[in-house]
Structure 1
Amino acid sequence: MPLFSRRTAPTDAPPMPRLVEIGQPERDWIDAHIALVAGAGADPDDLDQVRALYERWSSGWRRINPPERDDPAIMVSALGTAFGDHVARRTALSWRLAEHAHGVELALYQPRGQVLVHPIGLVDERWRAEETSGVFLVETAERLTRARRLTHGDGGATRRR
């Protein structure tokens, strides 16, 4: 399924979640997870380094005997958050809390185009599918950035938090 589509959403598509601005606790959580990525030696501003960290962490985790593996949630959250914040600083997408029937999660949202991205969910989905390459992070960020440039007609200047 393509990331973007001009076709109308199917009638069985889940409803848009309730979106709420993030507050300081969420910003602190985001910053702490980005610090985990930086502490592991990857520059959060360099998506190729975040991609390499995904590959290193996921391959290391998979080498462990399944009953002995720790829950990968911290790694997945750190990688997804670093990816999401990278995209948010370069596009019109901004962090929101997405409240839906299954709970609350961090998401990126742009109201003008009704674009909603779940960065942590994206990483989690690939991790669970045992995707060994983190190239999807770079490719997705590039597609989101290109779409923003096409929509806004600007050069894609980097925004600051």
Structure 2
Amino acid sequence: MPLFSRRTAPVDDAPPMPRLVEIGEPERDWIDAHVALVADAGADPDDLAQLSALYERWSAGWRRINPPERDDPVIQVNALGTAFGEYVARRTGLSWRLAEHVDGLDLALYQPRGQVLLRPITIVDEHWRAEEGSGAFLVDAAERLTHVRRLAHGDGGGRRR
């Protein structure tokens, strides 16, 4: 599954764009509560290196447990994915939406101008379930999204300082 979708032309094998709805106060509260879980665990949600290190610490602890005895990591995955999404949202033109698709309903980040759709919780979940130990994918994803944002805003991808 690609990191994010950019829909400029229909692709026969691509899933359809989900129906997107603005988030309300309950979703905003849910986002804030999950970002607070990350902060309570000692990671600054505005520091990508700390988010990556927290992913590595939490997933390593989970992997050390015998698989039949492991708890469902949904709380950690949701907290990390939401904090990562909030990190991205604060630095790009992407904003939170509820995305209704064939698999159900989830939180996503969306930018209408480039039709960029990102499901940050799903990204974390896929890496976690694959038992990937490194949180480097968070840094890579943020760099790629920042590049997409620069292209969408027409500055050619050059860095601003």
- Shared topology, TM-score over 0.5? yes
Task: Name the residue aligned to 2:71.
Answer: 70
Task: Name the residue aligned to 2:80.
Answer: 79
* Distance change >3 Å, CA 131–CA 91, structure 1 → 2: same
Task: Name the residue aligned to 2:62.
Answer: 61
Q: In 1, Cα distance between the equivalents of 2:7 and 2:21?
A: 25
The answer to whether the Cα contact below 8 Å between 1:108 and 1:117 also exists between their aligned partners in 2 is yes
Two-structure CA RMSD over aligned residues (Å): 2.1
Matches within 5 A, 1:9-158: 9-153=10-154
Describe the superposition over 1:81-113 as per-residue Cα deviations: whole angstroms up to 9, x where unpaired.
000000001000000000012210000000111
TM-score by length of 1: 0.90
Q: In 1, Cα distance between the equivalents of 2:23 and 2:45?
A: 20
Q: Give the structure, 1 or 2, with the largest relative contact order (CA under 8 Å, sep 6 or more).
A: 2
* Distance change >3 Å, CA 156–CA 92, structure 1 → 2: farther
Unaligned regions of 5+ residues in structure 2, if any? none
Describe the superposition over 1:123-147 as per-residue Cα deviations: whole angstroms up to 9, x where unpaired.
0001111111000001100111122
TM-score by length of 2: 0.90
Describe the superposition over 1:36-79 as per-residue Cα deviations: whole angstroms up to 9, x where unpaired.
00000000000100000000000000001111111001000000
One-letter identity of the residue aligned with 2:55: Y
Aligned length: 157
Q: Secondary structure at the match of 1:42?
A: coil
Q: In 2, Cα distance between the equivalents of 1:58 and 1:39?
A: 17
* Distance change >3 Å, CA 118–CA 3, structure 1 → 2: closer
Unaligned regions of 5+ residues in structure 1, if any? none
* Distance change >3 Å, CA 148–CA 43, structure 1 → 2: same
% identity of equivalent residues: 74
The answer to whether the Cα contact below 8 Å between 1:148 and 1:156 also exists between their aligned partners in 2 is no
* Distance change >3 Å, CA 59–CA 108, structure 1 → 2: same
| Shift of residue 152, structure 1, vs aligned partner | 1.3
